[in-house]
Amino acid sequence: FFRFVLFMTEGISVDDELSFGAALASKRAVKTLYKSTIKYSESLKASNSDAITFCNNLADIYNSEWIKQSPHIDIAKYLRYFCATLQSINQAHLDMVTAFNKDVCDPLKNFVSYDFLEMQQAKKKVLNTASECDSTRAKIDSAMQGRKRIGSSKTKPADPAQIAQYERELERLKKEQVENRQNFSLVLAQTHQKKETKLLKAMFDMVNIQHDYHEKSMFMLDNLKPKIKGLEEQIQESSKGIICSKEGHLLVKSSAAMQGGWQKHWFVLKDGYLFSYKSKKDASSADQPLNIMFCTTRTPPAVAGKGADCIFEIMNRDKKKPLVLQAETETEKNAWLEAIQ
């Protein structure tokens, strides 16, 4: 018990030990967070690289002779607008990545690598000095008991000078240990404080960096809007010259319909629009037509059941769910896909 009291007096206090344990747990969590930020940074860099490739491919298109020969719309002009805007946004994104590494990744790395290391080194000094105190105290005990003479049963008297030397050394170590313990407590407090000054600031900076990037991007997109004003109308006007290329019956998937969720409709593809009627003879039953210039098609993953190979989907940017259709045969389905595309 006496040794334990001495250790708590000269070693690490219970409060500091608990605080140290909490700090170590924080270190593990911050280290995991740092690894996540590195992965996030790498994904941002990869996105930048993909965006550069995309812009280069777009430039190849608007510089081609085939694009320059467009009869109705100056496609090259609009593609240049799009490309220039995307390049500017990509540069802002690259600036964001640089700032993210500097203001988020690096501070977290330093927090894990240096601040926690300083705390561990401070604790090590306290433990080492406490051990030296114990060792010196043991020397004093041994010196006070004296030593047996060689070849005799008598004990050699204690050496007062040596004992005094050990006691001076012990006093020096005690003073040093007081400073070590104070320093350890201070470093612990500073480490906990750095959770606010470094960890929290890194997260705050990350939000600001993201906000700055998105604000710049929106500004660039807003500047693009006047340049492409009326483009959608031009596209629709150009699509009117498209000759009717397809008509016929298709089944429409509907959760509200009977007979397995399918309803038979008459479809007409004309002037760039897909019209849907309840029957071939009833033109008044037309639903809102789809502008196929703003739609894409796809064949869904394999679906079990009769007619699964005849199913295809039309995705409309204005609707969350695709229009699911089924042709009578797979050949008919492919004909519709070719006509719509």
The pLDDT of residue 8 is 41
The pLDDT of residue 93 is 96
Going from N- to C-terminal start, the domains of the chain cover 2-228, 243-340
The pLDDT of residue 9 is 45
Cα–Cα distance for residue pair 285/277, rounded to 1 Å: 5
Instruction: Of 66-70, 105-109, 253-257, give the range with the top mean pLDDT.
Output: 105-109
Indicate left, alpha or beta for 160 from its phi (over 0: left) and psi (-120 to 50: alpha): alpha
CATH code linked to domain 243-340: 2.30.29.30
Candidate from 80-84, 165-169, 319-323 with smallest mean pLDDT: 319-323
Q: Select the CATH number that applies to the domain covering 2-228 from these four: 1.20.1270.60, 1.10.1660.10, 3.50.50.60, 3.40.50.460.
A: 1.20.1270.60
Any idea how long the chain is?
Answer: 341
Average pLDDT, rounded, for the chain: 84
Rounded mean pLDDT of 178-189? 89
Going by pLDDT thresholds of 50, 70 and 90, the confidence category of residue 45 is: very high
Full 3-state SS string of 212-270: HHHHHHHHHHHHHHHHHCCHHHHHHHHHCCCCCCEEEEEEEECCCCCCCCEEEEEEEEE
pLDDT, one tens digit per residue, over 47-78 is: 999 999 999 999 999 888 888 777 778 888 99
Going by pLDDT thresholds of 50, 70 and 90, the confidence category of residue 92 is: very high
Going by pLDDT thresholds of 50, 70 and 90, the confidence category of residue 111 is: confident
Cα–Cα distance for residue pair 96/212, rounded to 1 Å: 8
Rounded mean pLDDT of 119-131? 90
